[in-house]
Amino acid sequence: MALEVGIVGLPNVGKSTIFNALTAAGALAANYPFATIEPNVGVVAVPDGRLKIINQFQETEKIVPASLRVVDIAGIVRGASTGEGLGNKFLSHIREVDAILHVVRCFAGTDIIHVEGTVDPIRDIDTIDTELALADLETVGSSLDKSERLARSGDKEAVGRAAVLRRCKEVLDQAKPVRSLELDAEEKKILKPLGLITAKKVLYVANVDEADVHGKGPLVESVRQRAAAEKGAVVPVCGKLESELAELAEADRAEMLAAMDLTEPALATLAREAYRMLGLQSFFTSGPKEIRAWTIPIGATAPQAAGAIHTDFERGFIRAEVYTLADLQQFKNEPAIKAAGKMRAEGKSYIMRDGDIVHFLFNV
């Protein structure tokens, strides 16, 4: 699944610093081809300690974690929706991502001048939200006009579409995001082709300084309260520190983290939170060639999971042989797991669980 998250924020909040650190953090997982695919697109691993545990019992040539594509979207300025700054250029990029990482400056200091002159994370969030709401309002407005014209001619589909678009327009007129609406599956399906930016889930990234790496300060707290009101989440990240960590060897990185009272880079937490926000989970395949984490939506069936490896696996699915990490830790190897009756044979209706270790049997 090539899912993408887009990093947005005002200029000079540390957005590109965090993007560069994310895409440079290659030592987070062995043998992973971290890369910046295009000037503003990178691949980021989702750190998962379970891969190393599997590796304790299965020798392998390489370990491949799950991954996300991250898009660094041009800094949004006040008036962007009407063409200020790069204007509409950012809109085409942001409409295509699956979710948004909104970087907010939560550190003082005069070295980096804030575009608004002062540091105020809530004002900054409001600025971005307003621009995105205005952009969506334009999209919704033109679609609503068309739907209402068709509705008057008795088109039932257009009547339903106009009703949900009117609801969107009401919240956008108040500069509130479309995601604040309670929408059912059918309404979401109607809106999907529009690529509404404010309908996407948002994870706030509070860019802090080295004195507040745990994000306990009042600036981060204000963002936390805002996120809680939106049923969202916040990850504090010190962009400067993460940039330095990404360039260190593993032993030196561990030493620096310990000195800062951190157990892992904040970017590891950020990648996992983004993964969770998208409603994703991992299952594992394990063998001498590779141990790999595969990405599937929560609720996926065994044939759908097989299809994540290859479409032929889904088409010719016979059954899945499944065991757990706990089984592996207890019995040490697959023959012993089978002998203990812990290797489960699951059919087409099986709903995958996070962390399942699987072999698929298929016939094409």
What's the pLDDT score for residue 76? 66
299-362: CATH number: 3.10.20.30
Q: Which residues contact 68 (CB under 8 A, 6 or more apart)?
A: 3, 4, 5, 43, 44, 46, 271, 274, 275, 278
- Domain definitions of the chain by residue range: 4-150+165-277, 299-362
Are 359 and 320 in contact by the 8 Å Cβ rule? The answer is yes
pLDDT tens digits, one per residue of 87-137? 455 677 788 899 999 999 999 876 666 666 688 999 999 988 888 898 899
Q: Are 267 and 27 in contact (CB under 8 A)?
A: no
Per-residue pLDDT of 316-364, as tens digits, reads 999 999 999 999 999 999 999 999 999 999 999 999 999 999 999 999 7
pLDDT of residue 207: 96
Residue 236, pLDDT above cutoff 60:
yes
Which two three-digit tokens encode residue 309? 């490896």
Report the predicted TM-score, pTM, of the whole model to 2 decimal places: 0.85
Per-residue pLDDT band for 85 (boundaries 50, 70, 90) equals very low
| Residue 44 near residue 3, CB atoms below 8 Å | no
| CATH topology classification for 4-150+165-277 | Rossmann fold (3.40.50)
